[in-house]
Amino acid sequence: MTETPVRARFAPSPTGHMHLGSARTALYNYLLARKTGGQFILRIEDTDRKRFMPGTEQELIDGLHWLGLHYDEGPDIGGLFGPYRQTERYEIYQEFARKLVNLDHAFPCFCTTERLDRVRAEQQTRKENPHYDGFCRSLAPDEAARRIASGEKYVIRFRMPKEGSTTANDLLRGSITIENRNLDDSVLMKSDGWPTYHLAAMVDDHLMKISHVFRGSEWLGTFPLHVNIIRAFGWEEPIWMHLSVFLKPTGKGKMSKRESAEAIKDGHSIFIKDLEGLGFIPEGLVNWAALMGWGAGETEDVLSLDEMIEKFDITHLTPSPAAVNFTKLDYFNGEHIRRLTHIDLAGRIKPYFLNAGYSVDDETLLKIIPIIRERLVTLDDCLPFAAWFFKEKVDVNPLELVGKNLTAAQSADVARKIYAILDSLPDLSHAVSEAPMRHLIVDLGLSPNQVFGILRVAVTGQTVSPPLFESMEIVGKARVIERLQNAIGLLDKMI
């Protein structure tokens, strides 16, 4: 590792639930910081009081920790460059806004929203691009000062150069050049005194010594503005990387709330919190998200966070939009579930049994793990496969008790023979029970499917279950015998 340590930041605004896109941006920031031995910083961009949603900052923090993306500096843990919540940095933005005005790179604007709306509407009818018309751009400084002193409401706008062009450089996309006449005198400070993103983020990135910025491609349009602001201050620019948005699974159109509602019907979502509840584990989720937009090479696709840190390379990031593929999330989740230790997996699935109302003894839980782990795609799959282990009595559908291509009478006969054999055994460990049962199959001239099918339904109450012999060993002879008796009774009633 020869790179210089990177300071990277994840700077969400607490206005909604944390989603896939934010998670990936956070992840790349984290990966880069860890890879270079630098710092990963969480900054809360909460200057928009109107869109603020209580609780979402905590959700963001919880989500980051759940994903395993622990930060070095942040609002709840502090750091050398705090505070890390923009609403706690009010004076800082005031100072830098003033500075830009003094440098004549910004100016106070007294236009009302009514006037601005009217100007925009007129421009629209004239088929012009909507933009600020420069009404207050050349106001004399002393007149501006007088109006401010008299209490008039105003905003501070950036004085965008009228001539020439601006070239900004993005690591993934190369240089992007825009004619300055297409750029606007954007508002840097709102009339309520709070800064807009344009000012706040640039100031904070500078003050917090951010060296690399990952952000969504929605910022590409204002990218030249930001570069101009930084240059107006005379600061050094960070390295910019604009990540693309996620598209619908079909690849047509971007992932939206509508699609997310569709996704949740088959057990998926783009919201991190939902995904956690749906039984996805952070290891799988992170692996999946990482590979949408990053080519990890031709080696192994299933990666742990540490392996990703090792392999991460910003020169292998892709600028093109990626369609989300939930089927692949399932795959990664299953793979990572199988990589968990038995103890770890047990701890993660236990809550699902508990929440479903079962009382769980840890000894049984641990025994179940080896026989269900390769069957789990999501953690909640443990229920259909193994909930019956914790039931006193299983519900049996008599129709399912009838063996394939057999009558109820034949099935009852088979069940009785199974019963006789199992009952005679000292215990039902896999080692002692399998051989006699195999013999029975041969003696009866039936298929394993037919015989084991009857036994499976009798013991588990379901047609799909973990392997039978292992399962019987876990539930024990007493219960198997009891359930077999019950099954024989049910079959007899059908004759």
Identify the helix (H) or strand (E) that includes residue 494.
helix 477-494
Residue 177 phi, psi dihedral angles, 5° rounding:
-115, 135
Contacting range for RNA; rule: CB under 7 A; set: 1-9, 27-35, 314-322, 391-399:
314-322
Q: How far apart are CA 322 and CA 172, in angstroms?
A: 15
What is the x/- site pattern for RNA, positions 390-429, by CB under 7 A?
----------------------------------------
Residue number, 184 or 310, with CB nearest to RNA: 184
- Binds RNA by CB under 7 A, chosen from 4, 127, 149, 357: 127
Query: In the complex, what is the shortest distance from the CB of residue 276 to RNA, in angstroms, rounded to a whole number?
Result: 21
Residue 309: Cβ-neighbour burial (10 angstroms; 0-12, 13-18, 19+): middle
Residue number, 161 or 467, with CB nearest to RNA: 467
Q: How far apart are CA 99 and CA 170, in angstroms?
A: 27
Q: Considering CB under 7 A, how many residues would be counted as binding RNA?
A: 92
Q: What angle do CA 261, 264, 270 make, to 5 degrees?
A: 80
For residues 6-35, which are near RNA according to CB under 7 A?
11-13, 15
Query: In the complex, what is the shortest distance from the CB of residue 273 to RNA, in angstroms, rounded to a whole number?
Result: 18
What is the x/- site pattern for RNA, positions 355-384, by CB under 7 A?
-------------------xx---------
- Binds RNA by CB under 7 A, chosen from 79, 81, 99, 120: 120
Residue number, 143 or 179, with CB nearest to RNA: 179
Measure the CA dihedral 54/58/60/65, to 10°: -170
Strands 155-158 and 106-109: antiparallel
Ramachandran class of 53: left when φ > 0, alpha when ψ lies in -120 to 50, beta otherwise: beta
DSSP secondary structure, 130-174, as one string:
P----TTTT--HHHHHHHHHTT---EEEE---SSSEEEEEETTTE
249 within 8 A of 323, measured Cβ to Cβ: yes
305 within 8 A of 283, measured Cβ to Cβ: yes
Handedness of CA 210, 213, 218, 221 (dihedral sign): positive
For residues 335-354, which are near RNA according to CB under 7 A?
335, 338
Give the pair of three-digit tokens for residue 166: 């601006």
- Binds RNA by CB under 7 A, chosen from 303, 322, 345, 402: 322
Q: How far apart are CA 108 and CA 155, in angstroms?
A: 6
470 binds RNA (CB under 7 A): yes
For residues 172-201, which are near RNA according to CB under 7 A?
172-174, 176-179, 182, 184, 186-187, 190-192, 194, 196-197, 201
403 within 8 A of 416, measured Cβ to Cβ: no
CA distances from residue 280 to 268, 275, 284 in whole angstroms, order as listed: 9, 6, 7
Catalytic choice (153, 162, 257, 404) = 257
Contacting range for RNA; rule: CB under 7 A; set: 231-239, 251-259, 392-400, 475-483:
251-259
- Binds RNA by CB under 7 A, chosen from 155, 203, 213, 230: 155
For residues 73-112, which are near RNA according to CB under 7 A?
111-112
Tell me if residue 35 is catalytic. no
- Binds RNA by CB under 7 A, chosen from 254, 257, 258, 439: 254
Residue number, 49 or 493, with CB nearest to RNA: 49
- Binds RNA by CB under 7 A, chosen from 121, 148, 207, 245: 245
Q: How far apart are CA 244 and CA 214, in angstroms?
A: 10
- Binds RNA by CB under 7 A, chosen from 78, 295, 347, 370: 295
What contacts 24+ positions apart, CB below 8 Å, involve 234-238? 235/202, 235/206, 237/169, 238/205, 238/210, 238/211, 238/212, 238/213
Residue number, 62 or 335, with CB nearest to RNA: 335
Q: How far apart are CA 281 and CA 337, in angstroms?
A: 8
Contacting range for RNA; rule: CB under 7 A; set: 57-65, 136-144, 276-284, 324-332:
324-332
Query: In the complex, what is the shortest distance from the CB of residue 232 to RNA, in angstroms, rounded to a whole number?
Result: 18
- Binds RNA by CB under 7 A, chosen from 5, 78, 277, 297: 297
Residue number, 341 or 359, with CB nearest to RNA: 341
- Binds RNA by CB under 7 A, chosen from 160, 247, 346, 457: 247
For residues 430-469, which are near RNA according to CB under 7 A?
448-449, 452-453, 456, 463-469
- Binds RNA by CB under 7 A, chosen from 59, 72, 94, 131: 131
Residue 102 phi, psi dihedral angles, 5° rounding:
-60, -35
Q: Which residues are catalytic?
A: 257
